[in-house]
Structure 1
């Protein structure tokens, strides 16, 4: 009876959580609303945070729908006016992300992402180890600019096709052996049914039959071993290649500010909670995160190739063993040739993509001192008016205007063109954007910003900062490591947007509580939110490759555990080295408030001893 009740409750777990969490947490605002009214706003905000955390964690309703809760509960409970809450859903960072997504949609629309991926695979060759490297390089690069979900969804079928060709010869050989065995089985059956009446020759037939049976028995014993060996090698390669795609998608998104949502949440929270900090721009993030991404990707390739392919370097090296043209390479070559030469539309998208990247990089060169103004091309505009969202919108707008084919106008029109003169469609059109744009991400980001804004405006953040001031005696790098581990573990069971939306505002107050540079905790935590390698539910890329079959949860846990440790170690080394010149984490900034009463020198100085301890 008890088991059946629990089974029923588990089937309706989302409905149970939907009602249970608000009711269980309701004493919090009720008590402070009656007994201690001066602390009511903080309690009401904490109530909303608790509800959203559980709803996001267990996906009680779609994540984007949960992100709308501040629009309902903040005004109703007196935390913030509805107009103030609504402003968070289309902030500058949302516009930046929207522009980046439009460029990504254009890249997908003209199939440029497929051309890039196939070209990389052709360069690295068709040997298993180098194929894995090629898939990881292509996936990571695309994930820097396109959503990791879309990148994985595109690369996974390509990987499956390459694997099929890689083992095509073995499949054909196995099918031929099965056919021969069937034919032999039919003839042997005929012999067994045949009656021999010759007297005195029975013992001879028995001896021959015994000999044939023994031979067939030995063959049957040998063939399963061979097949089992081939099947095991194929399964291992399939697991390795699929995990390479998923992990590279997760890692690649950490390199750019627009690569994944947690990066943008960190940038926006810096501007919300610390207006005087200057926030985080594209160049700053890339300079810090890209080297760590490359190192993590290389270590991931070494680990996955060793685990699933082995250490047969001499056999597979193009220099030592000779590079053979296999069926897998033929499939890649055929798929690439089918794309044809680079089209006018692809060239147009490449131009706009490079233009956007250059505008992002050279907008504000912080390492060049020109006084109070920005050193990049934004120098010619009013300070603070132009942000990374501005070039994103410029390029996105241009994609709808720039022609997708050479214009048919006077001398530009070819002689063979029989169409009527007139404008040609642009590189992008609204139906394509409407279909391919992940609109829910914009709401999801907005919900996180609204949640954090309410935490600050209600005074909950100040209260949290006072509580965290008790940790001021602990080394800052130890707290940073614990924070990154906690965020990475939490991300295994919840989306990375959920993890950063909940933890980043809290970490900002923790930084002020222990008197360390907020960048020291917030930036590594944002990157650690993408290090989810152990469970299929951790990220969409993990779920996509898991759904293809052949991968068990135990495989992902075993492989992902070391990946998590390696990624976090690389992250700690990066933050303790590059973090000093880029973010100045070795000093406590004047735009933050030290809530512990005095700045702890031991917590704000990065020295060689700490770095060696981290390593």
Structure 2
């Protein structure tokens, strides 16, 4: 019944969006705003795009492509400038990241890694430890692979574990095993979303924030700088999720020998690592090394050393990702002659829609600054919010809270594309350092835990039929509130300690 209602809600939301988007566009277009003509026209385009993103009346990537095209047609900006963000180095960072993820999946290395973790001795047939292992595995995979792909990969493993555990239950104990299964799937889902904040390529909003910080603030964060705050913030949030799951969804039995047997049997059936798996792992490790080398050289040789300067210029994240992704399409996979680790036709099945969405978000954000629309929105917000938004902590706390709940009903990419350029302008207008606020709202955009429609991982887990809507909402609200406190601590304490704040 819940899934039918959810589907009906989605259909109604899309129908409303198809009517509301053009209505908002034309009303704003004919309503005097006092803005310069390009900013006025862009405001109408931006508002209509936001409606399309929230309602998903058309595919998100399609809406993102139409927005810059419409801006060119309405003489807001030249075509070369409108479409230039689609060739941003950060677009190629995500493109290469997609190719790496596809290469690992193509060779089955992702599933082997998950089963290997569950087969460790410390799990010892304990359902509680198995859930922790699933959460840790999901978190680790989602640092490098999209949260949707990680969830889709690990859901069968989690369901297999739940089936094995439920198989030993007496009929009267079934409710306890059902609750445990809920906790297992929710832990997996939330760990996938949390893991995405740990690295720059973990999820699309991270790339959006990096682009706007570089273009509009002149701040360029390297791979090591991001993980220096993203990884501890993610680990603390993951620990909170694991503890809460342990208390709210306790394991029905302390130990189950069949659990260890089942996992090790699945791992045994995979056999030894194939040549393709070893080569995919090697390329992946090379990519990680390439991302870390500029920071390593800066620390060991000094920022002024020629090698460190070359690494800073030549080993940019997007360059490393593309080289690694293409390398996977060249080196032999070892299964069949002439077939590489990642066949090119498989590489071209990557998520182009997300790349279009990123490019469209970058383009809209740049145009908002170029036309003065972002500054006008910022000054309006400051006039309404008053002194609360004028202080560094006030702006951080209010904007993070706003994005945290907004992302429950909109995609995290859409939320970040909408909010980051506006909040950067607000911070600049208030004379506040925009870096902590930008980074915190970016991480908050991934903290969508409350509803099945909030994220694809939530929808995938809910689609198993083993999660009650009230369980997801209750767990999600608690995790949202506690995660908010973690983000505030990160912005107020951790980022300044790392030299990324005031």
Instruction: Decide: shared fold, TM above 0.5.
Output: yes
In the TM superposition, residue 385 of structure 1 has moved relative to its aligned partner by 5.5
**Range with bigger deviation, 423-432 or 363-372:** 363-372
Aligned counterparts of 1:232 and 1:561: Cα–Cα separation in 2: 23
| Aligned equivalent of 1:443 | 356
Q: Which of 249, 264, 267 is matched with 1:333 structurally?
A: 264
In the TM superposition, residue 334 of structure 1 has moved relative to its aligned partner by 0.9
For the 8 Å contact 2:24–2:44, the answer to whether it is kept is no
| Aligned equivalent of 1:390 | 319
Aligned counterparts of 2:24 and 2:434: Cα–Cα separation in 1: 33
Aligned counterparts of 1:304 and 1:507: Cα–Cα separation in 2: 34
| Aligned equivalent of 1:405 | 334
In the TM superposition, residue 372 of structure 1 has moved relative to its aligned partner by 6.9
| SS of equivalent to 1:363 | helix
Unaligned stretches of 5+ residues in structure 2: 1-7
| Aligned equivalent of 2:478 | 562
| Aligned equivalent of 1:78 | 75
Distance 1:21 1:70, change over 3 A: closer
Rg (Cα) greater in structure: 1
| Aligned equivalent of 1:132 | 131
For the 8 Å contact 1:168–1:327, the answer to whether it is kept is no
For the 8 Å contact 1:254–1:289, the answer to whether it is kept is yes
In the TM superposition, residue 31 of structure 1 has moved relative to its aligned partner by 3.9
Query: Are 1:113 and 2:110 matched, yes or no?
Result: yes
Query: Are 1:473 and 2:387 matched, yes or no?
Result: yes
TM-score, L = length of structure 1: 0.75
| SS of equivalent to 2:498 | helix
Aligned counterparts of 2:195 and 2:303: Cα–Cα separation in 1: 34
In the TM superposition, residue 10 of structure 1 has moved relative to its aligned partner by 9.4
Distance 1:112 1:372, change over 3 A: closer
In the TM superposition, residue 366 of structure 1 has moved relative to its aligned partner by 8.9
**Range with bigger deviation, 161-170 or 558-567:** 161-170
Aligned counterparts of 2:11 and 2:309: Cα–Cα separation in 1: 59
Aligned counterparts of 1:144 and 1:9: Cα–Cα separation in 2: 32
- Residue correspondence of structure 1 range 260-409 to structure 2 within 5 A: 260-274=203-217, 276-277=218-219, 279-309=220-250, 316=254, 326-364=257-295, 368=299, 373=304, 378-380=308-310, 384=313, 386-405=315-334
For the 8 Å contact 2:46–2:67, the answer to whether it is kept is no
| Aligned equivalent of 1:489 | 405
Query: Are 1:20 and 2:17 matched, yes or no?
Result: no
Aligned counterparts of 1:331 and 1:527: Cα–Cα separation in 2: 36
| Aligned equivalent of 2:55 | 58
Distance 1:361 1:13, change over 3 A: closer
Aligned counterparts of 1:364 and 1:65: Cα–Cα separation in 2: 37
For the 8 Å contact 1:88–1:450, the answer to whether it is kept is yes
| Aligned equivalent of 1:525 | 441
For the 8 Å contact 1:488–1:528, the answer to whether it is kept is yes
Query: Are 1:232 and 2:145 matched, yes or no?
Result: no
After superposition, the C-alpha distances for 1:95-124 in whole angstroms (9 at most, x for unaligned) are: 010011111111101111111100111112
Distance 1:125 1:52, change over 3 A: farther
| SS of equivalent to 1:42 | helix
Distance 1:453 1:349, change over 3 A: same
Aligned counterparts of 1:388 and 1:292: Cα–Cα separation in 2: 22
Distance 1:491 1:465, change over 3 A: closer
TM-score, L = length of structure 2: 0.92
For the 8 Å contact 2:451–2:458, the answer to whether it is kept is yes
Aligned counterparts of 1:62 and 1:125: Cα–Cα separation in 2: 45
Query: Are 1:68 and 2:65 matched, yes or no?
Result: yes
Aligned residues: 490
| Aligned equivalent of 1:192 | none
Distance 1:369 1:41, change over 3 A: farther
**Range with bigger deviation, 488-497 or 576-585:** 576-585
| Aligned equivalent of 2:345 | 431
| Aligned equivalent of 1:592 | none
Distance 1:10 1:461, change over 3 A: closer
| Aligned equivalent of 1:160 | 159
| SS of equivalent to 2:197 | coil
For the 8 Å contact 2:329–2:343, the answer to whether it is kept is yes
| SS of equivalent to 1:350 | helix
Distance 1:369 1:361, change over 3 A: closer
Aligned counterparts of 2:344 and 2:82: Cα–Cα separation in 1: 29
Aligned counterparts of 1:136 and 1:96: Cα–Cα separation in 2: 26
Aligned counterparts of 2:362 and 2:10: Cα–Cα separation in 1: 32
Unaligned stretches of 5+ residues in structure 1: 1-7, 175-226, 317-323, 407-418, 587-615
Aligned counterparts of 2:306 and 2:485: Cα–Cα separation in 1: 34
